Amino acid sequence: MIKVEGLTKRYARTIAVDNISFAVEKGQIVGFLGPNGAGKTTTMRVLTCFLPPSAGKVTVAGFDVLESPMEVKKRIGYLPETPPLYPEMEVVEYLDFVGRLKGIEARNLRRRIGEVMERCAVADVQNKIISKLSKGYRQRVGLAQAILHNPDVLILDEPTSGLDPQQIIHTRELIHSLAGDHTIILSTHILSEVEHSCERVIIISSGRLVAIDSVDNLTNRLRGSEAVAVELDSADGRPNPGEVQQRLEQIAGVSRVLMKDSKNGRLLFEVESLQGRQIRPDLARTVVNSGWSLNEMRSVGLSLEDIFLQLTASEQRDEQRKQQREKEVVKVGADQ
């Protein structure tokens, strides 16, 4: 249903999306996961014909976003990060306006508006002014406008962000109920969100594709990795940070060692394990055998960022390459 091949999107100075490829089959719910600035919104804007790609090919139901934008738009419903609402309009008035814009025939429009208002649970506020609605209701009005022309594909940009827990549950249920009829891509920067809502997940970070997998496979891959915070006393200037870093990195099962802080005679490190490896006993042993004094050792949760790094061992190398390329782009820009 959706095919993205080698998509790149450059802004003046940044490469927001860097040569990513993926495909989404009909009827799937796919989560587009990545931290802020990863390139999710940019990709979605290209898919919905709001932005032209800098390179690569994107098709929706076989239609190219550059060659046949009208055909693509007919088949796509889009809920941007901020729903495109007119705050001074009543809900039903707004949906009528959107319906005309989308070219829905007048004789079908009223019935269709009734249907989507039921479906999105906004019928009870149909004559309310949009600016007076709660954020949850506004988001559902946004969804109602996205599905109004009954598109095959729904593109939802962070549909649950900023909602309270009750509203999040409501919105998730609504998205699920839409899944049978539509192919859905939803973006989020929250890992648990894809676990709740999606069958497959596409992970991007710094504009690059990090993983495409089923949610089950992904959580299995990540399960068992842990991060341990280790604090050492270095009041007399010993041990020195470089030495500690090096020794900790040599422990079997350690995937990464980060120095977090070195203040007031304390050294704080965060040590991550490979999947399924118990590193605490060896960590403790190494510290003690080295004659260092251990202030504290405790578990810390792996953040989304950490998970990206786990999934891409070559991340840092790639980042350097990307920065190099950005410099080249700027240079080429300046030459022109």
Ligand X SMILES: Nc1ncnc2c1ncn2[C@@H]1O[C@H](COP(=O)(O)OP(=O)(O)O)[C@@H](O)[C@H]1O
Own/partner long-range contacts of 214-218 (Cβ < 8 Å, ≥24 apart): 215/31
C-alpha span between 243 and 321 (Å, rounded): 28
- Site membership for ligand X, residue 37 (CB under 6 A): yes
The length of the chain in residues reads: 336
Which one, 127 or 192, has the nearer CB to Mg ion?
Answer: 192
**E-strand stretches of the chain:** 2-10, 15-24, 29-33, 55-60, 63-64, 76-79, 153-157, 183-188, 200-205, 208-214, 227-233, 254-263, 266-273, 293-300
Let me know the angle formed at the C-alpha of 2 by 106 and 15, rounded to the nearest 5 degrees: 110
Of the residues 4, 20, 29, 38, which one makes contact with ligand X according to CB under 6 A: 38
Of the residues 4, 7, 29, 40, which one makes contact with ligand X according to CB under 6 A: 40
Q: Residue 34: name its binding partner from ligand X, Mg ion, none (Cβ under 5 to 8 Å by kind).
A: ligand X
Count the residues of the shown chain that bind ligand X, applying the rule CB under 6 A: 11
In the complex, what is the shortest distance from the CB of residue 149 to ligand X, in angstroms, rounded to a whole number? 25
In the complex, what is the shortest distance from the CB of residue 212 to ligand X, in angstroms, rounded to a whole number? 16
Site string for ligand X, 231-270 (x = CB under 6 A): ----------------------------------------
In the complex, what is the shortest distance from the CB of residue 21 to Mg ion, in angstroms, rounded to a whole number? 20
- Site membership for ligand X, residue 289 (CB under 6 A): no
Under a CB-based contact definition with an 8 Å cutoff, are residues 164 and 191 in contact? no
The terminus-to-terminus CA distance of the chain in angstroms comes to 38
Let me know the angle formed at the C-alpha of 28 by 25 and 32, rounded to the nearest 5 degrees: 95
- Site membership for ligand X, residue 147 (CB under 6 A): no
- Site membership for ligand X, residue 16 (CB under 6 A): yes
Of the residues 39, 53, 77, 99, which one makes contact with ligand X according to CB under 6 A: 39
Q: Could you say which residues in the range 16-75 bind Mg ion, by CB under 5 A? A: 40-41
Q: Which residues bind ligand X (CB under 6 A)?
A: 11, 14, 16, 34, 36-42
